[in-house]
A and B are shown apart, each in its own frame.
Chain A
Amino acid sequence: MGVVTLNRVARCAIALAAALAFAASAHAGLRVVAATTDLAAIATAVGGDLVTVDTIVPAAVDPEAFEPRPGDLEKIRSAGLLVRVGLGYDYWLDKLVRQTGDDRLMRGGAAYVDASTGIPLLEVSGQSVINEGGHAHGVANPHYWLDPENAKIVSASVAEGLARVLPADRARIAANRERFLADLDRAIARWTAQLAPVAGVKLVAYHNSWPYFARRFRLDVIDFIEPKPGVSPSPAQLARLVAGGKKAGVRAVVHEPYEPEDASRFVAQKLGVPFALLATSVGSVPEAKDYFALFDHNVVTLAKALGVPSQ
């Protein structure tokens, strides 16, 4: 009788252990694939240890100049959830997803999240998402993650997608998101207070990545050094910028990674104002290790350039 009971107990224990192991591996195994590092950062915050997050565009690579490779197809194929920027910014993703043939990952599928849903868009130009000009600013200005308030909307979309794919963990996902929102609110208050003394300041930027950032922190980006994406400025353009900048009282030149710095430094020197290198994406500068660090870096760098005393 003892041996039979032991066998039975042992079998139950093994079965239980196997079930637990399977369940654990299944959860740790939900691969979320995000198009960019910014969406990956928000997905990590919302998913917590329910997910492992991967990015297609590596950190410090210009997403607007990104060309996908065969390895990226493999990444997407095994994705449990796909989070994309939308607005034609990651138009190359459509072709990759089509190649996998998995309709869960296509628009309308259960594992598809378009993070631009519900975002209040700026600079709507009404072009189709099918990227007519080959450039990423087709439908509207796509850099919406640079407004931390928009991260709340993005986290909602991601949480909704995760809840669709992991219905049993809805409560945990919601709790993760609440924690993220609380941290975000505290951080937004801190950042807004740091840049409040320079609200309304006029800036010149290299590339038009800043409308959402400018709206949140009340900055006025009056002109851009780059006349068209990828085209270097002509001397007449630089002269106009310098003349216009002096007249308007520009107080700093904002430059982002991925572009040669010399035109921005030249304009800054002619205007006699500081040159500020701000990050447009998590990982584009070494200090911007995650979503909060991205804004910490940008806010502190801009505040220092504009002469705001550090608190």
Chain B
Amino acid sequence: MALGDALSFLIYPFAASVAFVLIHAYLGVHVLRRNIVFADLALAQLSALGATVAFALGYAPVSPAGFAYAFAFTTLGAALLTATRALSRVVSQEAFVGILYVAATAATILVVDRSPQGAEHVKKILIGSILTVEPPEVIKFALLYGVIGLLHWLARGPMLAVATEAQPAGRSRLAVSLWDFLFFLSFGVVVTSSVTTAGVLLVFSFLIVPAVIGSMFSRAVPVVLAIAWSAGILASALGLAGSFALDLPTGAAMVMAFVLMLALAGLAKMLVFVPATQRRHNGRMAANAVAVLALAAVLASSLWLIFNPAADQPLLAMVERTTGLGPTNFLDDIDGATYREAVRDAVRFQQEVAALNAKERAARVGAPLSDEEVRRVASYQQSFNEMARGELFVEDVLRAKARRRERWIVGLPAAALALAGLVLLASAQRQKTPRTNAGPA
């Protein structure tokens, strides 16, 4: 797949992602400061509910009526969130946000239930379709977010002050509520527009993850924003490229890329942006943590193999794939030959089924098969499928037999070594932190 083709596929999704990151990361900084991380999920779901209601009433979601409905529901949510902020002294606002999200999701399902073809609409809102975004949409996003960004820039003083404190000095309750409401309103507009293209999960990632990365390194808003924007754009590029290279659905790949970027930022923070002594300490801690995790995984996997050899063994299967070891190494000659034959035959029978499928498909446009011939093909396919299943069963039985032997040859030593390693690490840790019960001074 030529690089040029790949780029032509990914350029518009990337442009849309950049627009999304710029506005959502900024709003995410606000959301983090106000400490209401799930509000964006709730508002996104409310705008999805509004779009679904519009759809059920016969309007296209991207029409003015669709947008109006979506925005109306988001505004309702914004009002509710503003009102519940006053109650946050009594009950955490997160509770209300969570309830709002659940109610909105349930209501969306109920609305869709009555309307045919509403399910495809809801599916689209959850998964998103950023890969197939069109150039006119990208331009619309850029313009809309430019306007909102400009408004926020002009109002940056009061907005940021209100974000950090519930009752900032020199501002009345009404003023605070008004700025709150304006924030949630602009938030609603942004999320309503982005949810139908990016999907609820990706919108959440755009909002929270870059802001978190930025906040890890600084408190000053301009620095946080700069880091958040760079991290977000880099993560989007990584996600899009990864989904292309690894053949993964785009939305999900991008979410994982954002999480990966967060993990890398965490590592960088621990290992790079600190004084030398702290860095050594952090490095040792990180190395220890990795070693403990790895040894614990090996120990658990070996114990699992010893006590339940016939079950699935994911770690062992991975090791077998990379080292080329397999069940045949632990079976005697006759069983080993049977296993190899079963593997070969299963593949052969599945190929026969595929060949029959291809033959039938070719006959649709070539010399046609009569109904009787189709029935005969179906009966052969049925037989081959059953034979393939028989061979796979033989494979499973012999693999279980091999594992039962393998558990003593591989499992027991591995468990012993892992345990020894963990004990060593624990004792090294104990030596480094001497007990403070050295007796009275």
Contacts and interface: CB of A to CB of B under 8 A. Distances in A.
B348 interface: no
* Residue among B9, B10, B372 facing the most chain A CB atoms (10 A cut-off): B9
Nearest to A263: B132
Contacts of A126: 353, 381-382, 384-386, 388-389
Contact of A62 (B119, B240, B365, B384): B119
Contacts of B332: none
Contacts of A218: 364-365, 368
A125 B384 CA distance: 9
Interface string A244-264: 000000000000011111110
B127 A124 contact: no
A34 interface: no
Interface in B203-257: 240, 243-251, 253
A120 B251 contact: no
Interface stretch (A76-84, A183-191, A227-235): A227-235
Given A236-B244, A259-B120, A215 B364 contact: yes
B371 A233 contact: no
Nearest to B115: A60
Contacts of B368: 215, 218
A239 interface: yes
B29 to A, nearest CB: 30
B379 to A, nearest CB: 8
A123 interface: yes
Given A120-B371, A121-B378, A235 B131 contact: yes
Interface string B336-370: 00000000000000000100010011011100100
* Residue among A61, A140, A200, A215 facing the most chain B CB atoms (10 A cut-off): A215
Given A120-B374, A120-B375, A239 B9 contact: yes
A239 B1 contact: yes
A139 to B, nearest CB: 9
A124 B382 contact: yes
B385 A235 contact: no
A126 B120 CA distance: 30
Contacts of A258: 117, 119-120
Interface residues of A, number: 44
Given A60-B117, A266-B132, A235 B244 contact: yes
A234 B5 CA distance: 14
B357 to A, nearest CB: 6
A219 B116 contact: no
Given A124-B381, A126-B386, A239-B244, A231 B120 contact: no
B328 interface: no
A262 B375 CA distance: 37
Interface in B84-124: 116-117, 119-121, 123-124
Given A260-B124, A260-B129, A220 B364 contact: yes
B361 A220 contact: yes
Contacts of B365: 199-200, 218-220
Nearest to B248: A234
A231 to B, nearest CB: 6
27 contacts: A58-B116, A59-B116, A121-B374, A124-B382, A126-B385, A126-B389, A199-B365, A211-B361, A215-B363, A215-B364, A218-B365, A220-B365, A232-B251, A234-B249, A236-B243, A236-B246, A237-B247, A239-B9, A243-B1, A257-B120, A258-B117, A258-B120, A260-B120, A260-B124, A260-B127, A263-B129, A266-B131
Interface of A: 58-62, 65, 120-127, 140, 149, 199-200, 211, 214-215, 218-220, 231-240, 243, 257-263, 265-266
